[in-house]
């Protein structure tokens, strides 16, 4: 009886899982030597390969770059047709290959060696010509591909990918590469914003509704509506923060009182509102908003001078939430 699609998929995953599990047993002093060599290198790590291994090499180079280890990708076929010029004297070259016997790889290896660069191979055959000519050999042998014909690179390329990640994570630890360092290399993403976007970056884009303590109720309502922050700050004559009035405060007042004449901002403000400094990270502002079930925060300076507002919508817009 033919296997179902789900059975085929499951067996593929299990086959690759088994291949990856075996990698841990293949780690040796060669892997450790490779990591230390890369860690101490003053140059770049150049990853190269042919076919599917080239695609994996490109991904590993991208992972290295994003985690603080300068790397580039060089296609083995292009290397022997001019791209070898990108290799500098202090670069380390890492060649990925399952067989270690591809014609392009065989042509490339002596050129790398003649240039005097350290050559590291990530190879599935440690007895191959590539392995024998490498200074360091990282063993990515897999017993069998997940492909039913044992032909299409499946388990072998997965093993290469995992070994590349293992190298990158080791270097992250050795370099003490922090989440803040990661954010500096990813400033365009929401993750990066968590580590550099501050309240100052947000409040300056918004209106800054505020009234004096003696302002009448009509002025308060007008300022809340005009500012579109759902609230207004209340300050003294010297712009020092005295409190906050939200639209909810106004609604509750209207529900409870029939006599509105003579009511001032001082009468209905909430003293000691939650505030943050301008240099506070937006991610910290989000935590404060969540913990206290707020919609907005007032931004002040170190002298408690009112600067402006940030709103929950600002954090949503920037992808922080």
Binding residues for Zn(2+), as ranges, are 75
Distance between CA atoms of residues 99 and 123, nearest Å: 7
Phi, psi at residue 191, to the nearest 5°?
A: -65, -45
- DSSP assignment of 218-280 equals HHHHHHHHHHTSSEEEEE-TT-BEEEEEEHHHHHHHHHH-S--TT-BHHHH-BSS--EEETTS
Is 202 exposed, middle or buried, given 0-12, 13-18 or 19+ CB atoms closer than 10 A?
Answer: buried
Residue stretches of the annotated binding site: 75
Residues 117/38/62/193 CA torsion (nearest 10 deg): -140
User: Contact 168/57 with Cβ under 8 angstroms?
Assistant: no
């Amino acid at each position: 009886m033919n296997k179902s699609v789900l059975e085929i998929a499951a067996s593929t995953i299990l086959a690759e899982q088994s291949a990856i599990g075996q990698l841990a047993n293949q780690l040796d002093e060669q892997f450790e030597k490779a990591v230390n060599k890369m860690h101490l290198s003053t140059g770049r790590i150049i990853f190269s390969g042919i076919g599917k291994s080239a695609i994996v090499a490109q991904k590993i180079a991208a992972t290295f770059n994003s985690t603080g280890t300068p790397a580039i990708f060089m296609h083995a076929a292009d290397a022997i047709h001019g791209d070898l010029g990108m290799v500098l004297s202090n670069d380390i070259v890492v060649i990925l290959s399952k067989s270690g016997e591809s014609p392009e790889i065989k042509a490339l290896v002596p050129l790398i060696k003649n240039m005097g660069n350290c050559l590291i191979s990530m190879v599935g055959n440690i007895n191959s010509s590539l392995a024998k000519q490498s200074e360091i050999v990282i063993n990515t042998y897999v017993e069998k591909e997940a492909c039913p014909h044992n032909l299409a690179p499946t388990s072998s390329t997965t093993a290469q990918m995992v070994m590349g990640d293992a190298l990158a994570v080791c270097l992250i630890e050795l370099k003490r590469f922090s989440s803040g360092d990661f954010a500096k290399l990813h400033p365009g993403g929401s993750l990066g914003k968590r580590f550099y976007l501050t309240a100052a970056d947000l409040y300056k884009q918004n209106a800054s509704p505020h009234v004096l303590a003696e302002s009448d109720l009509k002025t308060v309502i007008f300022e809340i509506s005009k500012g579109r922050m759902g609230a207004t700050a209340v300050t003294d004559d010297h712009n020092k923060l005295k409190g906050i009035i939200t639209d909810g405060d106004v609604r509750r007042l209207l529900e409870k009182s029939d006599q509105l004449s003579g009511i001032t901002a001082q009468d209905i403000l909430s003293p000691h509102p939650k505030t943050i400094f301008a240099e506070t990270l937006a991610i910290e502002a989000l935590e404060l908003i969540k913990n206290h079930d707020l919609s907005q925060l007032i931004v002040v300076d170190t002298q408690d001078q009112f600067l402006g507002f940030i709103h929950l919508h600002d954090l949503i817009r920037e992808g922080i939430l």
